[in-house]
Amino acid sequence: MAEYVSADEIREMFAQAMSVMYQQEVPLYGTLLDLVADVNIGVLEKHAMLLEKLTNDGEIGRLNVERHGAIRVGTPEELAGLRKVFAIMGMYPVGYYDLSVAGIPVHSTAFRPVEDAALARNPFRVFTSLLRPELIEDTQLRAKALQILAKRSLFTPGCLELVEIHAEQGGLTTTQAQRFVREALETFRWRQQACVDAQTYQTLHNAHRLVADIVSFPGCHINHLTPRTLDIDRVQALMPEYGITPKNVIEGPPRRKNPILLRQTSFRALEEKVIFTAGEQGAHTARFGEIEQRGVALTPAGRRLYDDLLADAGVAGDNFSHQQHLQNAFARFPDDEATLRSAGLAWYRYKLLPAGDANRQLIKPEDDPQELIDRGWLAASPVTYEDFLPVSAAGIFQSNLGAETQVREQGHASQQAFESALGCAVKDAFVLYQEAENRSRRACGLAAVNRLTDTP
Ligand code: OOG
Ligand code: NI
């Protein structure tokens, strides 16, 4: 049998190629990478313990390669095509995000790796949104948008051919994988040449800026790539010095000793030149920059507490007061690891230390991991949150759509319609996190837990 390149390796090649392409397309993204790298080095120099912890948790290796991106597509066929392309890179749809509640006419999933080793190698993720044409009120315009979308093909013939080859062979050789990465990248490239005339663009734009972005171009340009920082407050504060104007508030939870979930901020990047089909020139803003700081993944009970406290805190106008409201509201969210574990609020991976390994036969499945930790037999490390947050995502969308964004009639969440477009069910992130914790528990001789039905 021929030697095939692993999905992890293809994903790594692709993420790298995408990052190089995006630096050329959006130079400010390169500046952002420099800023994040500077801040991360500063944090690690100052906190030797953190460096040691990240090294022990196997998190340090992925930190500098870690990115997420986002794209938006127009039709079920396009989404189904992406599913096949991403599967070759070991990325699978996880989670369902309904953005219509925020007046955004899309629903989304995240394509990402799901296995421990794959995540540790390179957790590249792509937040992928599908247009909901039923939320375009003007039925004539809706029909026109669908007609335009029906004519385009998101993928190059070479990419489609390699997807076929992969299906037949069960893998790709090195040369095929390299070609696949090159061909697949074309789908995400920015194209100045629109596939509509200026007037159609304007009509689509008037319906919703996002509709114009999704329908007017021949590809589904990557609209941002996001590096991961260890100190988002510092990056936000330093952005102006690097010539970057951040959005008003950092989305997500407040700063904590034990970071939870995901904190994000973004900035508007570019106004890009567009050439419409009759040769008219125009401009389009769709692409931006974003940074994120990731913390521990929460259990369903932890997530409910998070959602409640976030709603309590509300949104204040400037970041300083917003963070203060958050701090106050989140005083009720425990901030020490032992309580996060014992209250069943967050997921952890357990590992036997040498003393535990030596006494393995004394560990009983029903033992309390905390006692074994206190005895020096066991170590726990937070399971990193690998997904997105719908309220934060809505904030990121909004901040980059500009002030004139219309909030429209709300659609109903339609996970079923999304999954039938995708051609499969999305994976449940909570199940994945629980499996990660349970794999580690079993490896230590401890019983598995089921926290999927816990209430806070
Ligand atoms: C996606 C916005 C959401 C995130 O990190 O929450 C997002 C988009 O603008 O297409 O990227
Ligand atoms: Ni993003």
Q: What would the pLDDT profile of 225-280 be if each residue is shown by its tens digit? A: 999 999 999 999 999 998 888 888 899 999 999 999 999 999 876 788 999 999 99
| Residue ranges around ligand 1 (CB below 6 Å) | 70, 72, 127, 129, 223, 264, 290, 388, 392-393, 396-397
The domains found in the chain, sorted by start residue, are 7-297+386-425 (3.10.180.80), 298-382+428-456 (no CATH)
pLDDT at 397: 83
Query: Given this model, what pLDDT does residue 248 score?
Result: 85
Residues in the chain, overall count: 456
What is the predicted pLDDT for the residue at 404? 41
Task: Please report which helix (H) or strand (E) contains residue 234, including its range.
Answer: helix 232-238
Q: Which atom of ligand 1 is nearest to the CA of 288?
A: 9
The CA distance from 404 to 303, in Å, is 32
- The pLDDT value recorded for residue 456 is 55
pLDDT for the residue 409: 47
Residues near ion ligand 2 (CB < 5 Å) are: 70, 226, 290
At 58 the pLDDT is 76
- The CA 224 to ligand 1 mean position distance, Å, reads 8
The protein residue with its alpha carbon nearest to ligand 1, atom 6, reads: 393
Global pTM reads 0.95
In DSSP notation, 298-310 reads BPHHHHHHHHHHH
Q: Which residues are within 8 A (CB) of 67 and not within 5 positions of it... i.e. 6 or more apart?
A: 15, 18, 19, 124, 225, 226, 227, 228
User: Exposure pattern of 186-214 as b/e (b: 16+ CB <10 Å)?
Assistant: ebbbbeeebbbebebbebbbebbbbbbbb
Q: Six-digit token pair at 55?
A: 């090294």
More confident call, 208 vs 407 = 208
Q: Which of 36-40, 89-93, 109-113, 342-346 has the lowest mean pLDDT?
A: 36-40
Nearest CA to ligand 1 atom 3: 393
Q: Are strands 378-382 and 67-73 parallel, antiparallel or unpaired?
A: unpaired
Q: Which ligand is nearest to the CA of 97?
A: 1
Determine the 3-state secondary structure of 327 from DSSP.
helix
